[in-house]
Amino acid sequence: KNEVEQSPQNLTAQEGEFITINCSYSVGISALHWLQQHPGGGIVSLFMLSSGKKKHGRLIATINIQEKHSSLHITASHPRDSAVYICAVSSGAQKLVFGQGTRLTINP
Amino acid sequence: EAEVAQSPRYKITEKSQAVAFWCDPISGHATLYWYRQILGQGPELLVQFQDESVVDDSQLPKDRFSAERLKGVDSTLKIQPAELGDSAMYLCASSLGLLLVLQFFGPGTRLTVL
């Protein structure tokens, strides 16, 4: 069993829909990261959080430390949000352990 | 805006050949990471540097892979000899330090071994 599990693996939605991507982890962590990877391969860090909730524009990330679970939400989704979203956890000296990613496709 | 630079962006080689990838982190970032990402999977850490010292290379296949960061700035990852299973995206990232900081990723080098 992987240390970081994401669901769903693939998600297709219509423009404007509210999107939720889930991440569960099985190890103790110092922080959880959400990253975005576009088809060209470049990765952008979206959030790093260790408790509570963070918001940036239409993106919201939450974490429940007790349940070892995090969610990434996208409000008013847009085709440009189409990408792979990756959850990763860090512990100790910042080594990131990545989930397998969720491929999101937003259709116009 | 400061970025992590990587070259080449694409590399095609034949098995048993040697390949090398270069990474220039964001200026001032002491920590540098090399990741390997196989298609359809999340990245996997190969090696982590703090300045010029290796912090973690536990997942680096040391019989064929080597990495160096001689002056604590840019870094080179080498594979010799390349094998078919090495085909992947090789990503470099950097961060200001070790703890609770964002990592900034380069565009990656896509390696194809024929």
Q: What is the pLDDT of residues B26-35, one digit of tens each?
A: 999 999 999 9
Contact A64, A76 (CB under 8 A): no
B7 lies within 8 A of chain A by CB: no
3-state secondary structure of A79: helix
- Reported as a single tens digit per residue, the pLDDT across A25-67 is 998 888 999 999 988 778 999 999 989 999 999 999 999 999 9
From the list B33, B93, B108, the residue facing A41 with the nearest CB is: B108
Of B25, B14, B3, nearest to B77 (Cα)? B25
B99 lies within 8 A of chain A by CB: yes
Q: Do B42 and A99 touch (CB under 8 A)?
A: yes
Check pLDDT > 70 for residue B100: no
Q: Do A100 and B42 touch (CB under 8 A)?
A: yes
Q: Among A42-56, A86-100, B1-15, B56-70, name the one with the lowest average pLDDT.
A: A86-100
B91 lies within 8 A of chain A by CB: yes
- pLDDT band (50, 70, 90) for residue A1: low
- Within 8 A of B45 by CB-CB distance, chain A residues are 95-96
- Within 8 A of A102 by CB-CB distance, chain B residues are none
How far, in whole angstroms, is CA A6 from its chain's centroid? 8
Q: How many residues does chain B have?
A: 114
User: 3-state secondary structure string, chain B?
Assistant: CCCCEEECCEEEECCCCCEEEEEECCCCCCEEEEEEECCCCCCEEEEEEECCEEEECCCCCCCCEEEECCCCCCEEEEECCCCHHHCEEEEEEEECCCCCCCCEECCCEEEEEC
Closest Cα of chain B to A82: distance in Å?
16
Spatial distance between the Cα atoms of A12 and A6, rounded to a whole number of angstroms:
15
What is the reported pLDDT for A36?
A: 95
Q: Which amino acid is at A63?
A: I
Q: B62 Cβ partners below 8 Å, 6+ apart?
A: none
- Within 8 A of A100 by CB-CB distance, chain B residues are 40-42
- Within 8 A of B102 by CB-CB distance, chain A residues are 33, 45, 48
Spatial distance between the Cα atoms of A60 and B113, rounded to a whole number of angstroms:
40
